[in-house]
Amino acid sequence: MSLAGVSCLVTGAGGFLGQRIVQLLLEEEEELAEIRLLDKAFSNEALGRFGKFQGKTEVKILEGDIRDVTFMLRACRGVSLVIHTASIIDTLGLIEKQMLWEVNVTGTQLLLEACAHCNVQYFIYTSSIEVTGPNYKGDPVFNGDEDTAYESILTFPYAQSKRLAEDSVLKADGQVLEDGSVLMTCALRSMYIFGEGCPFLQGHVDKCLLNKNVYLRFSRKEALVNPVYVGNVAWAHVQAAKALRAPQKAKHMRGQFYYISDDTPHMSYADLNYELTRELGFGIEPRLPMPLTMLYYFALLLEMVSFLLRPFVRYIPSTNRHLVTLLNTPFTFSYRKAQKDFGYVPRYTWEEAKQRTCQWIASMVPQRRLYLKSKAA
């Protein structure tokens, strides 16, 4: 099934993943009738990238807040497909829980309500591996799938907010719209996403530069995960959008979630950073700064200090127990179900993803060195 002639809304279109989804929709698809790009604010770089497109698809920029009901109704009117990537990502507890809930949970629910009012039939939600885990006990998963039994005990606000939002999306499948048609939904749970423009990767590179081109090891080598390249996650969204509009495929997809990974070798988060940049002469420390158990209790101590200081000052520790567990638990999942149900096949190989990401980092390093030097001065 093609997306030709479809009017599509992409939320979070100015973000790391959102921009890549938009790029694929504009460059690879048969001409959409219209694509609406929604975000709270767009960088000049993003606007410049969208402005270079010369196709027949009408591109409309919508800057506004996902919590604004009137704005969401205007954004959804006349649209048949919504790809919802907008959310606040927070692994350190930098964002107040109320704000996470307002954007990630309430914002998603308001968008679903707008879809019902505006007769939007197809809804794809960008979820996260964190809605699965790892749980606080650090129970591992090796090459799991959607049927793998796992005790998902979510204690961190970001993971909780994404799980509640995903639940809302999947439960909304089959909802009768105002024109009598029904809403069809699915969710894509991506692994950790890397690639050009990744803000987390840029942060790790900055720390590496400050440490004389050597990465601090924050995850043990045995903690294997399967990161996924941003181009492949974007491609999965496009393939899911096509399939959801095809009745024979939609009947298998509706109300379902899918793990989205690719053929990136399984490795720890720290070793991923190293693999992407070792050709640039970067190194990595051989072991954790302290034994894992000690690191966990050190994070607990930092959390206690943060709690005690809360009445006087807002102190956010550089790590926490959730992050220590997340980074040091083996946790890998297959994309077999996505391949079977809607034909997802990674568009980029690991070598291509690695080369593209390495080139981006290489182009960024001189500027980051100057920035960090001026900041230190």
- State the catalytic residue, choosing from 158, 258, 274, 335: 158
d(CA 184, CA 169): 9
Instruction: For residue 243, count CB atoms less than 10 angstroms from its CB and return exposed for 0-12, middle for 13-18, buried for 19 or more.
Output: buried
Query: Across the chain, where does the E strand assignment appear?
Result: 7-11, 34-39, 58-63, 81-84, 122-128, 141-144, 184-190, 193-194, 214-215, 228-229, 256-260, 283-284, 331-333
If you write DSSP's letter for every residue of 7-21 in order, what string do you get? EEEEETTTSHHHHHH
- Tell me, yes or no, if 158 is annotated catalytic: yes
d(CA 340, CA 338): 5
Asked if residue 129 lies in contact with residue 159, where contact means CB atoms within 8 angstroms, the answer is no
Give the list of residues 6+ apart from residue 109 with CB closer than 8 angstroms, or none.
165, 168
Phi/psi-derived region of residue 43, left when phi > 0, alpha when psi is between -120 and 50, beta in every other case: beta
If you write DSSP's letter for every residue of 208-254 in order, what string do you get? HHHTTTEE---S-TT--B--EEHHHHHHHHHHHHHHHTSHHHHHHHT
Q: Any alpha helices (H) in 14-146, and if so which ranges?
A: 16-28, 44-51, 69-76, 97-100, 107-118
d(CA 170, CA 162): 12
Kindly list the catalytic residues: 158
